[in-house]
Amino acid sequence: MSDNKPVIVYGASGYTGRLVCEYLRELGVPFVAAGRSKDKLDASMGANVPGIETADYEVAEVEHSVAALTELFTGAGVVLNTVGPFSAHGPEVVQAALAAGAHYTDTSGEQDWLITCEETYGADFAAKGLLLAPGIAQMYTTGEIAAEICLEQPGLDTLDIAVFWGGSPTIASTRTILVNAAMSKAHYLEQNAYVEFDPAAGLVPLVVPGQHELALSLPWGGTSHPVWYRRDPKVATCKAQGGVFDNALMNGVPQIVAAALEATKDMDTEQRDEALTATAAQVMNQMPPRENPRLNKSLDSVHASGPLGRAHCVIHGNQNYKQTGLLQAYAAYSLLQQPPRRVGFASGCQAFGHRELLGQLQAFGLVSEPVVTRQRG
């Protein structure tokens, strides 16, 4: 790796990776765009990252192995990983970042992967003074910001989180959804303990602030929030649901997942992965178009409650994948200048501060001022 490129974007040719590179350019951070195909990386940087000609970057083709990734990461300060499913492809990247002495973040929302990161790698990263922050992404971090705003009011211990967005998931996200549904269970947090969602519960209608029509939601793998808050003394119970605003699309998700699970139930892990990948390609087999702020809206709503108080925070935003790209780029930008607020396993807000992350999203025009209401006992 070139000594003057302190940030590695692994999976830079993908939809989210491109956006991370775009915001690193805007923040003036030199980076290495890394992945398994130099041709794809060159094409992606040239055609899909606006202003790339003014960026300080280089491209690196690398094998997906601990040894090869460690060699690439050595000398870097931060690794931003966008290659999922993370439960399948994440271990090599985390192990390489640890061996190279680099901070690690990723865009995962796979609850089982977050639990693995915390239990398997968290202490080792903390011992080296390094940050291990999986799940820094719009679907998780923006909702976490809303939760933390609610928790600025003392005495609230229960979080009810809803996350919605407009548009379609990427190829990688679709595959991750199916693989995660087939391979792992989804949990919420109840009195500091994980409780499994009923896998047969199906769609849950939710009241969405700002519209009359109910929206349909799913546990969406349980999300990252219960894992982040399990060891937070302020919070005892945390449940999150999510979905897209398009109810017709949401109605199809359980059928697609159920059919995929039934078709692959007798397969071994490798066969199942291949079959689920093929199913995902039938659902989404092309890169979505660049986001349109009039269409690709996001909404994060958090109700927080306690014995004698309540708070509600709503954050309206747009372009959820761009929010993810900015959050990742700002994490690297911050880590290159000062230590995180917490080392080892931590969320975006725990590592960088929820007001700081909110400020960045607002500065780039991606979220509006939070709408907060409070009731005190």
According to the model, what pLDDT value does residue 280 have? 64
Cα separations in angstroms, 236 against 227, 228, 233: 12, 11, 7
pLDDT at residue 185 greater than cutoff 90: no
Q: What is the mean pLDDT of residues 245-274?
A: 78
Question: pTM for the full model?
Answer: 0.93
Q: Which amino acid is at 170?
A: T
138-318+368-375 CATH: 3.30.360.10
The string of pLDDT tens digits covering residues 275-324 is: 776 766 666 556 778 999 999 999 999 999 999 999 999 999 999 999 99
According to the model, what pLDDT value does residue 248 have? 86
Q: Which amino acid is at 231?
A: R
pLDDT at residue 175 greater than cutoff 80: no
Which residue ranges make up each domain of the chain?
Answer: 7-137+322-364, 138-318+368-375
Cα separations in angstroms, 26 against 20, 103, 117, 207, 323: 10, 21, 30, 37, 14
The string of pLDDT tens digits covering residues 201-239 is: 889 999 999 999 999 999 988 999 999 999 999 999 999
The string of pLDDT tens digits covering residues 93-114 is: 999 999 999 999 999 999 999 9
Q: Which amino acid is at 123?
A: A
Q: What is the mean pLDDT of residues 152-160?
A: 98
Confidence of residue 171 (pLDDT cuts 50, 70, 90): low
Task: Give the helix, strand, coil percentages of the chain, each rounded to 5.
Answer: 45, 25, 35
For domain 7-137+322-364, the CATH architecture is 3-Layer(aba) Sandwich (3.40)
According to the model, what pLDDT value does residue 284 have? 57
Cα separations in angstroms, 374 against 152, 308, 314, 359, 377: 11, 11, 12, 21, 10
Phi and psi at 171, nearest 5°, equal -55, -50
